[in-house]
Amino acid sequence: MKFTTTILMALLLSGAAFSQKKYPNSLSNDHIKIVWKGSEKGTFPIAIFQVKKDGKWIDGPKPSGEYTLLYSATKPSGEPTESFEKITGGKFPEESYHYQQEQWKESINDVSLNKAGQAIHFLPASMLIKSDAIEFSKETDVASITTNWRIDPQNPTDILVKMIVKAKAKGYFSMATPTLGTVAQEQLGWTSVPGYFQGNTLQKNFALAYAYGHGVPDRPVIYRERCASTLSPLVTTKNGVTLSVIPEPGLARDPWAKDKITQTDWHIGLSHMNRKGQLAPTIYYPVLGKEKSELNAGEEFTFSFRYSIIAGDWFQAIKHAANDIYQFDQTLALRKSKQSLTDRIEKMHLYLTDPKTSLWNIEEYKGKQIGAQSYLGGVVGSQKDAMKNSDYGAMWMLAHATSDPELTNKVLPPAENFKLVQQQTDEGFFKGSVEGQYYLAKKKKFVEEWGEVVEPMALTYYVMLDIGNMLLFEPENQELKTRLKYGADRLLSWQKSDGSWAVAYDRKSEKETFKDIKDVRPTFYGMIVAYRILKDDKYLKAAQKGADWFIKNAVETGSFLGVCGDARYAPDFATGQSAQALLDLYDLTKNKKYQDAAVTCAKIYTTSIYTHPIANHTSKTVNGTAREDWEISQTGLSFEHGGIFGSATRHGPIQLASHAGMFIRMYKLTGEQIFADMARSAAIGRDAFVDSKTSVASYYWNAMNRGAGPYPHHAWWQIGWITDYLLSEAELRSNGKILFPRGFVTPKVGPHQTYGFEPGNVFGDKANLVIKAGLATPDNAAIECVTAQSTSKNSIYIMLMNNSSSQTDFALNIDESKITEGKKMKSLKWAENNLAAEIDKISIPAFGLKTLEIAY
C-alpha cells in the first residue's frame, strides 16, 4: 500500500487530525498515535509518533520504524577485543580488583558491546491491515520476519508486538525490538536500564559510564537481565514523554528455574540505544550466541514484547512495568511468614550472646580489651583473622531493650574499646579518622577493606555514625564526645570549597586517590551527626553545603557511588542511605529542597529492587528441599551492588533489607504504594533464607538458608533493619500515634536507623522500647509483637501488627511471669479506644495494627 498524494503526505507528516477509520495505517486511541506511511521504495517507516498530554497531542521521540536483525554464521567469541582506561588514565579496573575481573571481561566482549555479528537494518516491505492489528513482513537474505502490532486493550498506552523470525540459513540470530522513535541528545530528559544505570547526559569515558553510571554510556551496550531490576529500558524526553520497552513475562531468565541456580543465564539483552547508537530503548532476543539463538534453515523463534508510551516520567514507567505487567503488587499476597520478625530478633539475641555461634573474640590492643566478631570474607592481608563490628546502634539498642548483662557487661565495653582504638588520635593529616574497618588479630593492626587508603566516607561511618549512635544512649560519655569532635573537625577540614569530599586519600602519601570518580555518597551525614550531638552551627552549615553539592552532582544526574571497597565502590545500598540522609537534613532545616531530593533519591533506589520474574506457586527443589517459587523469589529484594560488576551478577540480591523502614517512611510521605509494597515484599515470608538454628538470614540470595556464614556480625544489622521497619510500620499504621525517636543511620548497608535511646509516644503515653521474650505469643506468625513499657504508670504496651495482605484472626498468649518481677496482670484493654480486650480471638485487618495495654 502506497500513499503518494502530496496533500495526504503533508497531512500525515504534519500530524493533522485524523481517525483510524480514515487512515487505517495507524494505531491510535485517546492516548497514543502511531502512523506509518508508505514510500516509493515500497517500505513503511513511521511518520507520526504522538502522545496526548494535558488534553493536547505532543510529539514523542522522532519517528523511525526501522528494524534490526543480528546474524552470525559462527558463534561469537566470548573474549574481549577492546580494553578501556579510566578518565584519569590507566587500565580499568586495576588488577587488584580480582572480584571484578571476570565480570568486566564478560561485559566487554563483542556481544556485550553490541559489535558481534552482521547488523541487518531494514524497514518492512509489506503491510496488512487487520481488524485489531497491523502486520508487517520482510524477507532478508538470512531470515524472514513477520511482526504483528496491536494496542493492548487492558493498557491503552501500550502497543503489543509479536515477532516471528524464520531462518533461511544456518547460524546465530538475535532480533532487536524495532526502533519506534529516537531521542536526540539535546532532547534527553532521562534514560535508564533499571538496575544498571540512570541519567540525563551521555558520558564519553566508557569505564565511568559502564561501571558506575556516572553519565550514560554513549555506546549501544547490551545488558544482562541478571542485574536488571525492572525489565524496562526507557527514555524520557524533555517534553515529558517516556518510551519504554518491556519483554513479555517469561522471556527473561528465571534465577532458579527448577532445581539449581540459573542466575547467570542470559536470555534477553537490554539497552538504552539501538545498534546504530541512537537513544531508543531496545530489547534483543535471543542474545547472539546464547541459548535459542542458533537456528538451522527453516527453524524459527517467536519474540513478544510491548512498547509503553506515557505522558509522564520514568518513575511512572517503572511502576507500570513492575505492577501492570509483572504483577509485583499482586504477588505480595503470596507472602506468608512461618516465623515472625520479632521472634527472629529474640532468637538472634541468643545467637549473639553465645561467643561460639557469634564468633565473638576478645583481643588485647594498646592496653585495652577489644571485642569484635570474626570476619571471614575478603580483606587485604587477612589470614582468616579479621575482626569487625557492624551495627553499634543495634548493639546498644538490644542491650538497653533487654537489660541483658551478657550484653551490657560482656559485649558493649570491649566493643566500645574496639571503636576507641580504631580511631587515629595522633596529630597529623589523619587525626580523627579511622585506621581501618577491620582488625587483623595476628598482625595487631587495623586495615581497610581493599588497600591502604583512608576515606572521608569511612570517617563518617566508623567514627561519626557509630560513636554518634553510642552517644544517644550515653550522652554523658565525655571520652566518646571528644572522639566525635576529633572526627567532626577532621571531616570538616577535608571538605572541599564546593562542598564535596575526596573518595579517598593514600595512607602513605596523604594524596587524594580514586580521582577518576566523584564521592557521590552521603559523606555529609557525618556533619548531621556532629550538629545533633555537639550543637555547633558550623557542622550544620557544612552538612547543607555537602548536601547541596550532592543533590546537584548525584540526585539530579542519577550518578551514585558505593561504599564497598572490594567492589571498587560500584553503586550500592548507599543510594538508599542517601535518601534517608536528605530526609534527616530536612528534619533539621525544614528546607523542602532536601525533602524533595530525598523523595527523588528514594524513587531512584526503587530501581535497585527486583520486580521480576513473577512470583508464583510453582514447585522447585532447593538443596534437596521442596520450595514454592515465591519462597525463593528475588522480587522485592535489593542489591548489595548491581551494575555490570556488582555482586548481584553472580550471587543475586541480598536479604539485608535495610531500606524497608525508609521505604515505609517514603510511602507515608508520598502515598506512592510501590514503596510500601517493596518494603513488605523484602521483609515478609523470607523463611527460606533464615537458618532455623540461629534465625539469622543468609546475606546473598544464592546462599539460601546457610545463615550468617562468614559474616556473623550481620545479625546486628538484621536486628537493626527489622526494628526500623517494624517501628516505621507502627508509626504509619497508627497515623503517628505510635512514634519512637530515630537515631542515626548505620554503616554501611543502608538507611535503617537506631531506636530505644529515648522514650517513645504510645497513644499519648511515654514508653520505653523493651524486649521481653515470651511475654506475648500469638499463634500466627503473621502477627508481630513490639513491646514498650510506660514511664509513668504500671503498663506495658504490645503493638500487634498484621504482616499479611489479608485479615488475620489469632489468639494471643500472655505469660504473666514475664511482665516484671513479682507483678501480676491487672487488666487488658485496647489503647486505641480504651475498651476491654479479649485475647482469645483477635482480628486485625490486612497490614493493620492493634495496641494492647497490659496494666499490672
The mean pLDDT value for 399-427 works out to 97
User: Rounded distance, CA 345 to CA 723, Å?
Assistant: 8
The mean pLDDT value for 121-146 works out to 96
Q: Which runs of E-coded beta strand occur in 315-459?
A: 360-365, 368-374, 386-388, 438-440, 445-447, 453-454
**pLDDT at position 3 over 90:** no
User: Rounded distance, CA 652 to CA 789, Å?
Assistant: 41
The mean pLDDT value for 100-119 works out to 96
Q: Residue 443 — pLDDT band, cuts 50, 70, 90?
A: very high
**pLDDT at position 766 over 50:** yes
Q: Residue 483 — pLDDT band, cuts 50, 70, 90?
A: very high
User: Rounded distance, CA 352 to CA 359, Å?
Assistant: 9
**pLDDT at position 8 over 80:** no
**pLDDT at position 519 over 70:** yes
User: Rounded distance, CA 770 to CA 772, Å?
Assistant: 6
Per the CB < 8 A criterion, the answer to whether 455 and 568 are in contact is no
Q: What's the Cα-to-Cα distance from 262 to each of 140, 229, 642, rounded to whole Å?
A: 34, 16, 17
Side chain identity at 736, as an amino acid letter? G
The percentage of residues in the chain with a pLDDT greater than 70, rounded to a whole number, is 97
- The pLDDT of residue 11 is 36
- The pLDDT of residue 275 is 98
- The pLDDT of residue 805 is 97
**pLDDT at position 508 over 90:** yes
User: Rounded distance, CA 136 to CA 134, Å?
Assistant: 7
**pLDDT at position 821 over 90:** no
Length of the chain equals 856
Per the CB < 8 A criterion, the answer to whether 221 and 112 are in contact is yes
pLDDT tens track for 251-261: 999 999 999 99
Per the CB < 8 A criterion, the answer to whether 135 and 149 are in contact is yes
User: Rounded distance, CA 157 to CA 307, Å?
Assistant: 8
Q: Residue 450 — pLDDT band, cuts 50, 70, 90?
A: confident
pLDDT tens track for 12-53: 433 333 344 555 799 999 999 999 998 778 899 999 999 999
**pLDDT at position 135 over 90:** yes
Q: Could you tell me which residues are beta bridge partners of residue 305?
A: 161, 247
- The pLDDT of residue 592 is 98
Grid cell of 583 as nine digits: 530526609
User: Rounded distance, CA 823 to CA 803, Å?
Assistant: 31
Q: Could you tell me which residues are beta bridge partners of residue 438?
A: 447
Q: Could you tell me which residues are beta bridge partners of residue 62?
A: 182
Per the CB < 8 A criterion, the answer to whether 243 and 309 are in contact is yes
pLDDT tens track for 697-731: 999 999 999 999 889 999 999 999 999 999 999 99
- The pLDDT of residue 2 is 38
3-state secondary structure labels for all residues of 728-743: HHHHHHCCCCEECCCC
Q: Residue 266 — pLDDT band, cuts 50, 70, 90?
A: very high
Q: Taking Cα atoms as reference points, which of 797, 787, 793, 802 lies closest to residue 848?
A: 802
User: Rounded distance, CA 11 to CA 96, Å?
Assistant: 62
User: Rounded distance, CA 482 to CA 488, Å?
Assistant: 10
- The pLDDT of residue 22 is 54
pLDDT averaged over the chain? 95
Residues 6+ apart with CB under 8 A from 143: 69, 71, 165, 166, 167, 168, 169, 173
Cis status of the peptide bond prior to 286, with omega within 30 of 0: yes
Q: Residue 7 — pLDDT band, cuts 50, 70, 90?
A: very low
User: Rounded distance, CA 205 to CA 112, Å?
Assistant: 17
CB neighbours of residue 464 within 10 Å = 28
User: Rounded distance, CA 36 to CA 41, Å?
Assistant: 14
The mean pLDDT value for 782-787 works out to 98
Per the CB < 8 A criterion, the answer to whether 93 and 83 are in contact is no
Q: Residue 5 — pLDDT band, cuts 50, 70, 90?
A: very low
Alpha carbons within 13 A on the beta-carbon side of 440:
17
Q: Residue 741 — pLDDT band, cuts 50, 70, 90?
A: very high
The mean pLDDT value for 175-196 works out to 98
pLDDT tens track for 349-390: 999 999 999 999 999 999 999 999 999 888 888 999 999 999
Q: How far apart are the first and last CA of the chain?
A: 86
The mean pLDDT value for 121-135 works out to 95
